[in-house]
Amino acid sequence: MDLRGHLENLNNALRALFALLMGVVTVWSFQVPDAVGFQRPELARIFFWHFPCPLLLTGLLFVGSYFSFRHLVRVQGFRVESETDNRERQLWDIRAVAALELGFVFCVLTMITGILFSLVQWGVWWQWDPRQTSFLLAMLVYGAYFALRTAFTDPEKRAANSAAYMLAAVLPLIFLIFVYPRLPQVEQASFHPTQSIMKGQIKGAYAQVVSAVIILTTILSVWLYRLRVRAGTLELLAEDYGQLETHGGHPAPTGVVRPVSLSDPH
């Protein structure tokens, strides 16, 4: 077996090990004793799956914004324009999209698990709790990034405009997710159990399980991010290659013929 085959086997073994760990942690989360102080203590373990999602979402949001910034720095011509710069700029856009796309997946998971928590603990799917409402607004602002990307057909404009949007949106997003729900008058009106987390009431087996879920989802996120960047880079290469094709769908010949000016012998 060649090196490629060995690496593929190793990759499959790692995947299987990871899936096994996911199963073990999931079973473990059902073994810990029920939490006290909740309407339905046995269902408070939704927290294990809800809490890591906004953490990862925030991390990916910052990473994606930083990559967007790096893309824009290149666009603004802070460096000498060259083919390498152009490629580097495209790569920053691919990295930004990879991080922000994955962040949006966690944003959706945060919302759905939050709604489930609301249903089992407060008795309703949606009750316009300030925390829920501000997160819904944050999700809409975040989702607009992807809507904006679909509005441009030119890849350069798409990348530059969406990067500028994300840089403008990141502060309002942080405000909606972290600052607004913690304003004293808002916090008093909200049912969200922020205090139990902030005051260190999550401890013992609960803290261990939630840490394990955070570690596993972080590893999975890094893997998904890297794979998404690889997909984006390959797509970019395939697009570049496609531009060399003739209208008939066949690649252009190796020797490219260009019109040249000839000096008049007379």
Partner 1 sequence: MAAIPPLLVWCGLYLYLTRIEKKVREAERRLSPENGSK
Site string for partner 1, 112-131 (x = CB under 8 A): xx--x---x-----------
| Least distance CB 231 / partner 1 (angstroms) | 4
Cβ-based nearer residue to partner 1, 108 or 136: 108
Q: How far apart are CA 89 and CA 169, in angstroms?
A: 21
Q: How far apart are CA 182 and CA 189, in angstroms?
A: 11
Q: Who contacts 192 (Cβ-Cβ below 8 Å, separation ≥6)?
A: 129, 131, 132, 181
Out of 35, 38, 50, 65, the residue judged to bind partner 1 by CB under 8 A: 50
Q: How far apart are CA 125 and CA 114, in angstroms?
A: 9
Q: Check binding of 251 to partner 1 (CB under 8 A).
A: yes
| Least distance CB 41 / partner 1 (angstroms) | 11
60, 79, 213 from 210: Cα distances, Å: 19, 44, 5
Q: What is the DSSP letter of 77?
A: T
Where do we find the tokens 């890591």?
52
Binding segment for partner 1 (CB under 8 A), chosen from 82-90, 157-165, 196-204, 224-232, is 224-232
Contact 195, 64 (CB under 8 A): no
Out of 198, 215, 222, 234, the residue judged to bind partner 1 by CB under 8 A: 234
| Least distance CB 211 / partner 1 (angstroms) | 15
Out of 30, 125, 126, 178, the residue judged to bind partner 1 by CB under 8 A: 30
| Least distance CB 209 / partner 1 (angstroms) | 11
Nearest to 51 by CA among 212, 180, 163: 212
| Least distance CB 228 / partner 1 (angstroms) | 5
Cβ-based nearer residue to partner 1, 45 or 71: 45
Nearest to 49 by CA among 99, 97, 116, 128: 116
Q: Who contacts 142 (Cβ-Cβ below 8 Å, separation ≥6)?
A: 61, 100, 103, 104, 107, 169, 173
Binding segment for partner 1 (CB under 8 A), chosen from 80-88, 149-157, 198-206, 231-239, is 231-239
| Least distance CB 28 / partner 1 (angstroms) | 11
Q: Who contacts 212 (Cβ-Cβ below 8 Å, separation ≥6)?
A: 25, 28
Q: Check binding of 250 to partner 1 (CB under 8 A).
A: yes
Contact 184, 195 (CB under 8 A): no
Q: Check binding of 48 to partner 1 (CB under 8 A).
A: yes
Cβ-based nearer residue to partner 1, 19 or 147: 19
Binding segment for partner 1 (CB under 8 A), chosen from 42-50, 133-141, 152-160, 189-197, is 42-50
Give contact residues for partner 1 (rule: CB under 8 A). Answer: 22, 26, 29-30, 42-43, 45-46, 48-50, 53, 102, 105, 108-109, 112-113, 116, 120, 217, 220, 224, 227-228, 230-231, 234-235, 237-238, 241-242, 245, 250-251
